[in-house]
């Protein structure tokens, strides 16, 4: 039922006979050309037998003249296959395969078997076609040649169609349509045509019509209308299937002249059957019988018939029974028995091969893919479990650490920042007043670097006064003001920034910024401990309360100072108070 598919690489097998060797001048002019030149010349003249035959013959003679150049010999014979008459194509195909095998090139060997399979398919020798497809598949499986993989899919799909495995054929033809759309216009159109035929056989008549329309539209878009009559042929079958018998007859008859011109016996037979069936349904029995006889005529000549054409013999037997023509009735009964024998033999072999050697291989491939997926899934599951275990261990350790830090923070005295100055400066009779202190402290220009400024000793009295003012600074919580800097502190303490830095370093044991930051944080921590309202504050509100410029500065300082976040500390405080356990 399928048209002859010649469009994919070496599938372009045209009907022409090789002539005698070209004249000496033409041969001599090409004999010194490269193989690439000869191949390009052949491909560009493939539809002109008088020109292409010269390139083919010079190609083969050049390859034969070179010792052991099996690769070019195989390619030259493949070109011969394309140009040769149908009756001798198999001879050249065997030479092509013989030389291809000597190259140990899986791609070349596989494509050669594929080409031979197509020759058998075009001769309606489905069993031999399938044998060669399966051999080709084994070789191509060892390569990364995607085009050849899809050519094999296409060939296997044709066999599945012939066997009646329409759903499986549809799946393969859809893959071919998807691949060839951007790779090969004619192969793409062939695949669409086959898909439409499959839809018809599965009863998807509307989809079959749409597919045929797409094929015609795409062909015109590609400026390739050479398949249009095949789509009309397919639509004629479809119209017969839905009961539009007159339309079916019209479409099928319009496609017949070009099909006959191509010597496409298969589709010619199909057209005759469906025209006959349409006439039979219109009760034009004599016309129907004429076309059913044409089907039998081709069967007698070729010994080949499609399974779905068998019904034509039943119509003929019934017709002659009604007309009491026992001789003709007996003749077509015997013909039907022959048809059944041919189909049984072909089906038995094909069914066994396609299930055992192709479908089983695909099942094993799918099985291996699933098993690999299961292994991968198990590995991923183990990795996930391991990661989860690591995360859980990390969270447990983090929780223990945070709990310990919380307990240490709860036990820390954050409410007392007073450092009695009377124990530090024993023997001092008095401290300078603020105004006196300001007069006694030298001014240090802000532009002078502290590193280059000569060290000035602070008198004990001035030092004591600064410390006293520092205690007032702490008592009055002046550190809660925003943007508290060394310069601003110096103003509050009635001194200069240099002395502030020295006094804080000596009496508080830290840098000025660190000192201010810790005062702010200790204040917030104490408020969180003692005032329940603060536990409901947001981090932004807590940061504002402590005099931090931004929420980010506050949370970062809190985490650095305590090891935990303010959110966690508030949460643990609430929980410990609610349970009555500070632990």
In this structure, the answer to whether residues 542 and 473 fall within a common structural domain is yes
In a domain, 249, yes or no: no
In a domain, 210, yes or no: no
Average pLDDT, the chain: 80
Q: What is the mean pLDDT of residues 307-324?
A: 90
In this structure, the answer to whether residues 436 and 370 fall within a common structural domain is no
Full 3-state SS string of 386-405: HHHHHHHHHHHHHHHHHHHH
Q: Model confidence at 580, in pLDDT bands (50, 70, 90)? A: low
pLDDT at 441 over 60: no
In a domain, 235, yes or no: no
Residue 550 sits at φ, ψ, to 5 deg, of -135, 160
In a domain, 532, yes or no: yes
Both tokens of residue 89? Answer: 């194509």
pLDDT at 439 over 90: no
- What CA–CA distance (Å, rounded) separates 113 from 119? 10
- What CA–CA distance (Å, rounded) separates 354 from 346? 12
Domain with 372 in it? 310-411
pLDDT at 524 over 90: no
In this structure, the answer to whether residues 11 and 157 fall within a common structural domain is yes
In a domain, 137, yes or no: yes
Question: Domain end: 163, 195, 214, which one?
Answer: 163
For 199-246, the pLDDT digits (tens) are 998 999 999 999 999 999 999 988 888 899 999 999 999 999 999 999
Both tokens of residue 465? Answer: 């006064």
In this structure, the answer to whether residues 480 and 555 fall within a common structural domain is yes
Q: Which of 539, 577, 210, 151 is nearest to 406 (CA)?
A: 577
pLDDT of residue 258: 94
Domain CATH for 105: 1.25.40.10
For 248-272, the pLDDT digits (tens) are 999 999 999 999 998 889 899 999 9
Residue scoring higher pLDDT (220 or 455): 220
Of 53-62, 184-193, 483-492, give the range with the top mean pLDDT.
184-193
CB of 212 within 8 A of CB of 189?
no
Q: Model confidence at 368, in pLDDT bands (50, 70, 90)? A: low
Q: Model confidence at 44, in pLDDT bands (50, 70, 90)? A: confident
pLDDT of residue 46: 74
C-alpha distances out from residue 546 to 162, 483, 540, 558, 572, Å = 86, 11, 10, 11, 20
CB of 293 within 8 A of CB of 316?
yes
In this structure, the answer to whether residues 467 and 397 fall within a common structural domain is no
Q: What is the mean pLDDT of residues 320-333?
A: 91
Q: Model confidence at 29, in pLDDT bands (50, 70, 90)? A: low
Q: Model confidence at 353, in pLDDT bands (50, 70, 90)? A: low
pLDDT at 58 over 90: no
Q: Which residues, other chains included, contact 515 with Cβ-Cβ below 8 Å and sequence gap of 6+? A: 504, 508
Q: Model confidence at 365, in pLDDT bands (50, 70, 90)? A: low
In this structure, the answer to whether residues 575 and 467 fall within a common structural domain is yes
In this structure, the answer to whether residues 516 and 385 fall within a common structural domain is no
- What CA–CA distance (Å, rounded) separates 298 from 265? 7
CB of 88 within 8 A of CB of 17?
no
In this structure, the answer to whether residues 132 and 33 fall within a common structural domain is yes
Q: How many domains does the chain have?
A: 3
CB of 135 within 8 A of CB of 278?
no
In this structure, the answer to whether residues 146 and 52 fall within a common structural domain is yes
In a domain, 215, yes or no: no
Q: Model confidence at 9, in pLDDT bands (50, 70, 90)? A: very low
Look at 167-181, 333-347, 362-376 and tell me which has the smallest mean pLDDT: 362-376
In a domain, 219, yes or no: no
In this structure, the answer to whether residues 315 and 370 fall within a common structural domain is yes
pLDDT at 530 over 90: no
In this structure, the answer to whether residues 506 and 552 fall within a common structural domain is yes
In a domain, 294, yes or no: no
pLDDT of residue 162: 78
Look at 71-80, 203-212, 268-277, 440-449 and tell me which has the smallest mean pLDDT: 440-449
pLDDT of residue 560: 87
In this structure, the answer to whether residues 404 and 474 fall within a common structural domain is no
Question: Domain end: 98, 132, 163, which one?
Answer: 163
Residue scoring higher pLDDT (387 or 348): 387
Both tokens of residue 566? Answer: 């303010």
pLDDT at 84 over 80: no
pLDDT of residue 26: 56
pLDDT at 6 over 70: no
Question: Domain end: 163, 181, 208, which one?
Answer: 163
pLDDT of residue 369: 59
Model-wide pTM > 0.75: no
pLDDT at 28 over 70: no
CB of 1 within 8 A of CB of 306?
yes
User: Alpha carbon 54 to chain centroid distance?
Assistant: 46
Q: What is the mean pLDDT of residues 464-490?
A: 86
């Amino acid at each position: 039922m399928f048209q002859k598919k010649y469009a994919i690489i070496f599938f372009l097998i045209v009907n022409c006979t090789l002539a005698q060797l070209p004249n000496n001048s033409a041969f001599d002019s090409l004999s010194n050309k490269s193989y690439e030149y000869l191949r390009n010349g052949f491909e560009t003249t493939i539809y002109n037998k008088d020109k292409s035959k010269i390139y083919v013959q010079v190609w083969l003679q050049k390859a034969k003249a070179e010792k052991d150049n099996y690769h070019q010999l195989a390619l030259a014979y493949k070109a011969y296959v394309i140009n040769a008459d149908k009756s001798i194509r198999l001879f050249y195909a065997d030479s092509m395969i013989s030389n291809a095998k000597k190259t140990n090139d899986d791609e070349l060997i596989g494509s050669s078997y594929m080409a031979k399979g197509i020759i058998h398919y075009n001769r309606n020798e489905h069993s031999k076609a399938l044998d060669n497809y399966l051999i080709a598949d084994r070789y191509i499986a060892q390569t990364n040649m995607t085009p050849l993989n899809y050519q094999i899919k296409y060939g296997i799909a044709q066999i599945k169609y012939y066997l009646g495995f329409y759903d499986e054929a549809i799946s393969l033809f859809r893959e071919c349509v998807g691949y060839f759309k951007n790779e090969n216009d004619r192969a793409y159109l062939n695949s669409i045509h086959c898909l439409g035929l499959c839809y018809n056989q599965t009863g998807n008549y509307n989809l079959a019509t749409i597919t045929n329309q797409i094929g015609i539209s795409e062909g015109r878009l590609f400026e390739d209308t050479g398949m249009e009559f095949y789509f009309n042929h397919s639509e004629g079958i479809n119209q017969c299937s839905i009961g539009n018998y007159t339309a079916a007859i019209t479409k099928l008859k319009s496609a017949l002249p070009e099909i006959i011109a191509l010597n496409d016996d298969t589709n010619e037979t199909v057209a005759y059957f469906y025209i006959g069936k349409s006439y039979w349904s219109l009760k034009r029995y004599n016309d129907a019988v004429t076309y059913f006889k044409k089907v039998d005529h081709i069967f007698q000549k070729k010994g080949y018939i499609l399974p779905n054409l068998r019904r034509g013999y039943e119509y003929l037997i019934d017709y002659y029974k009604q007309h009491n023509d026992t001789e003709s009735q007996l003749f077509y009964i015997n013909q039907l028995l022959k048809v059944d024998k041919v189909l049984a033999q072909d089906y038995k072999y094909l069914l066994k091969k396609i299930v055992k050697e192709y479908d089983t291989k695909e099942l094993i491939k799918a099985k291996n893919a699933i098993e690999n997926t299961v292994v991968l899934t198990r590995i991923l599951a183990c990795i996930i479990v391991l990661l989860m275990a690591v995360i859980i261990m990390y969270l447990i350790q983090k929780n223990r650490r945070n709990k310990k830090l919380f307990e240490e923070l709860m036990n820390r005295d954050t409410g007392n920042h007073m450092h009695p100055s009377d124990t530090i400066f024993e023997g001092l009779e008095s401290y300078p007043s603020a105004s006196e202190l300001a007069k006694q402290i030298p001014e240090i220009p802000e532009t002078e670097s502290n590193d280059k400024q000569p060290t000035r000793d602070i008198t004990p009295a001035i030092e004591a006064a600064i410390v006293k003012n520092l205690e007032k600074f702490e008592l009055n919580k002046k550190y809660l003001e925003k943007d508290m800097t060394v310069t601003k502190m110096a103003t509050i303490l009635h001194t200069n920034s240099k002395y502030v830095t020295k006094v804080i370093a000596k009496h508080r044991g830290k840098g000025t910024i660190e000192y201010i930051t810790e005062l702010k944080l200790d204040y917030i921590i104490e408020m969180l401990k003692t005032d329940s309202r603060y536990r409901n504050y947001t981090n932004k509100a807590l940061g504002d309360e402590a005099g931090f410029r931004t929420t980010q500065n506050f949370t970062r300082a809190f985490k650095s100072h305590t090891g935990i976040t303010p959110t966690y500390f508030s949460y643990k405080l609430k929980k410990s108070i609610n349970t009555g356990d500070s632990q």
